[in-house]
Amino acid sequence: MAVLQSTLDPGADRAVLDRRAMLEALREHDELAARVIAAGGEQAVTRHRARGRLLARERVDLLLDEDAPFLELSGFAGVHEPAEQPGARLLTGIGPVSGVECMVIANEATVKGGSLSPSAVTKQLRALEIAARNRLPVISLVQSGGADLPRQEEIFVPGGRIFRELTRLSAAGVPTIAIVFGSSTAGGAYLPGLSEYTVFVKDQAAVYLGGPPLVRMATGEEVDDETLGGADMHARESGLADHLAVDERDALRIGRQIVADLGLRKAGPGPSLPPDPPQRPAEELLACASSDNRRTVEVREILLRVLDGSRFDEFKPLYGPQLVCGWGSIDGYPVGVLANNGILFSPESQKGAHFVQLANARSIPLLFVQNITGFMVGSAAERGGIIKDGAKLINAVSNSTVPHLTLMVGASYGAGNYGMSGRAYDPRFVFSWPSHRIAVMGGSQLAGVMSIIRRSAAERAGTDWDDAADLALRAETEAMIDAQSGSLNATGRLWDDGVIDPRHTRTVLGLALSAVHSAPVEGTGRFAPFRM
């Protein structure tokens, strides 16, 4: 197999500039990560601990196999909402429990009682979707006040889907386990109610459709927490608790035993190639994204720092050169790669569609590396059939059944986002670098288009044209679009599964590939007719 060679000089002005910009962005991310880890803040955490309880992160740590990696997902969910705790009061991710990769969903009870905000609902649904697509057992670590009541309007209807997805997973043969550490009220009671296996912590779990105040209001009955929905009652009388744990650690131990007893085996083919590290250090990835969207970077510089042994067999390198396609592997898992090296023209689109079909014929997962300002526009491109060729790529990507992983390293604009398996195209996982920008087009282009439209309208109406006012509006629009396009806004809204440090790219993609191999990896020959 060919080995990619680097031409990047890490000491060159441009590389130094790009590296500095990336480190600056990562500093902001570190500050946010510290806020996520601080959970509900000192006071709430002290109160929680005084009650003898563990934080969500500690529960997950004890559940997972010792020293095992944890692929945290949607870590900055909700960060676009000023009042929301980054991470949205919920910890989700994939890690091995008794040797089985599981999806873990843990409420962070120190933030607003672990109640579910709109972002938390989206995050929990995304975790369940990932579990379903990749056939990962789900372990819910429950302690939640249910819906964030003042925001119920935004939660009630979409939130109902959580329970539906949980039981559908189970019906599809994916095991579900609920370990209840505290309150699990109303809708939350259906988390254990709809899970296949349940563990309740003695003197802590409180599971009921309506709490004591609601019961008093509805029926006049005076009843305390423990009698109404305590762990002991559910273990002995209602039958909702399968296991009564003496404390949190005991509950997690029982959870691990339940997974061990499942006897699960992965359905995918697993790694088949040598998993040796790339020939260049991951540290240099910091200089591999452009700090200026108008200047593109050589995508092979990224690939050679991510793929096993920097090996890459390129497909049609002389044809449609701005879409780099080829075969390589990560942690021994074969992958077909489609990576942008500039705008998509007709040949690039045809080449991509052809390559997606080949990967499906061989049942090899695909990695899309997005750095794309869109498809080519203009009369030459239109006459050359850019619409029908772009449609071929979108057809191939939409109907492909091999797992897709998408990595967004720079711009992700317009239909380029679609053709390169953006979020709406159901990739199994989507990760971004902090340098990632996502929008229908760049801020200056959008502001320019709007200005041209305004000027034409003014000419038609015969009204005066004020250059200064137009310039001010252009600047305002550009700033607004640029702010909306940033990686934090995108990850807050769950347009990806997390913003990652570029240096962790290989590790993250390796873990994601391992997760997708929990399900069968099967390509298809069935596509929509390709418009020729």
Binding site for ligand COA (CB under 6 A): 112-113, 115, 145-149, 183, 185-187, 211
In the complex with ligand COA, the residue whose CB is nearer, 148 or 242, is: 148
In the complex with ligand COA, the residue whose CB is nearer, 186 or 282, is: 186
- The single residue listed with the structure tokens 């005991």 is 250
3-state DSSP helix/strand/coil % of the chain, to nearest 5: 45, 20, 35
Give me 239's structure tokens.
């039958």
197: left (phi over 0), alpha (psi -120 to 50) or beta: beta
Least Cβ distance, residue 24 to ligand COA (angstroms): 33
Kindly state the greatest CA–CA separation across the chain. 82
In the complex with ligand COA, the residue whose CB is nearer, 114 or 390, is: 114
Residues in the chain: 532
Least Cβ distance, residue 225 to ligand COA (angstroms): 9
**Cβ count within 10 A of residue 410:** 27
In the complex with ligand COA, the residue whose CB is nearer, 30 or 224, is: 224
In the complex with ligand COA, the residue whose CB is nearer, 112 or 392, is: 112
- How far apart are alpha carbons 37 and 56 in whole angstroms? 10
In the complex with ligand COA, the residue whose CB is nearer, 48 or 300, is: 48
Q: Which residues pair with 437 in a beta bridge?
A: 411
Least Cβ distance, residue 247 to ligand COA (angstroms): 18
- The single residue listed with the structure tokens 């391992």 is 514
In the complex with ligand COA, the residue whose CB is nearer, 120 or 367, is: 120
In the complex with ligand COA, the residue whose CB is nearer, 204 or 291, is: 204
Alpha carbon 483 to its chain's center: 20
In the complex with ligand COA, the residue whose CB is nearer, 214 or 472, is: 214
Inter-helix orientation angle 505-516/118-134, to 10°:
60
Q: Which residues pair with 405 in a beta bridge?
A: 367, 429
The closest of 190, 185, 152, 150 to 170, measured between CA atoms, is 190
Name the DSSP class of 517.
Answer: T
Least Cβ distance, residue 74 to ligand COA (angstroms): 20
The closest of 363, 281, 381, 273 to 322, measured between CA atoms, is 381
Residue number with the shortest CB distance to ligand COA?
146
Radius of gyration of the chain (CA): 25
In the complex with ligand COA, the residue whose CB is nearer, 148 or 348, is: 148
Q: Strand 437-439 relative to strand 404-413: parallel, antiparallel, unpaired?
A: parallel
Give me 196's structure tokens.
């296949």
In the complex with ligand COA, the residue whose CB is nearer, 227 or 456, is: 227
DSSP 3-state of 229:
helix
Angle of CA points 91, 94, 160, to nearest 5°: 55
DSSP 3-state of 94:
strand
**Cβ count within 10 A of residue 507:** 17
- How far apart are alpha carbons 54 and 64 in whole angstroms? 15
